[in-house]
Structure 1
Amino acid sequence: MASVLEFFKESYNEMIHKVTWPTWGELQNSAVVVLIASLIIALIILAMDESSSSILKLFYQSVG
């Protein structure tokens, strides 16, 4: 049980004294980057979905 308590003490000490936490501005910048990247990826997937749907429609019309 002592090792568990020691683990929590060392973890707390490390989180307080050794971890470099981002500033509010850095968090906001990172959030904007993630939002823009997500939108770009979503648009790419939408374009791929629409194009494959159109290709399949043409294929089924030519076969049927």
Structure 2
Amino acid sequence: MAGITTYVQESYNELKNHVTWPTFAEAQRLSVVVLLFSVIFSLAIWGVDTVFSNVIEQYFKWVKS
């Protein structure tokens, strides 16, 4: 149990004294970048999924006939 307590204390000390936290404006800017990337990436995955679904559907229609 002492190991867990030491770990928590050292983690808190690390976060408080050694981490450089971004400014609010920088955090907002980076959040917008992450949001845009997430939307673009999800649209790309949706597009590829749609294309592959259509290709597989056409393949099975071709094999069935």
TM-score category, normalised to shorter length: 0.7 to 0.9
What SS is found at the alignment partner of 1:21? coil
Normalised by the size of structure 1, how large is the TM-score?
A: 0.73
Q: Give the unaligned 5+ runs of structure 1.
A: none
What SS is found at the alignment partner of 1:22? coil
Counterpart AA for 2:58 = L
**Number of paired residues?**
64
Q: Which has the larger radius of gyration?
A: 1
Normalised by the size of structure 2, how large is the TM-score?
A: 0.72
What SS is found at the alignment partner of 1:20? coil
Counterpart AA for 1:51 = V
Q: Give me the whole-angstrom Cα distance separating, in 2, the residues matched to 1:5 and 1:62.
A: 65
Q: Give me the whole-angstrom Cα distance separating, in 1, the residues matched to 2:6 and 2:59.
A: 66
User: Percent of aligned pairs with the same residue?
Assistant: 38
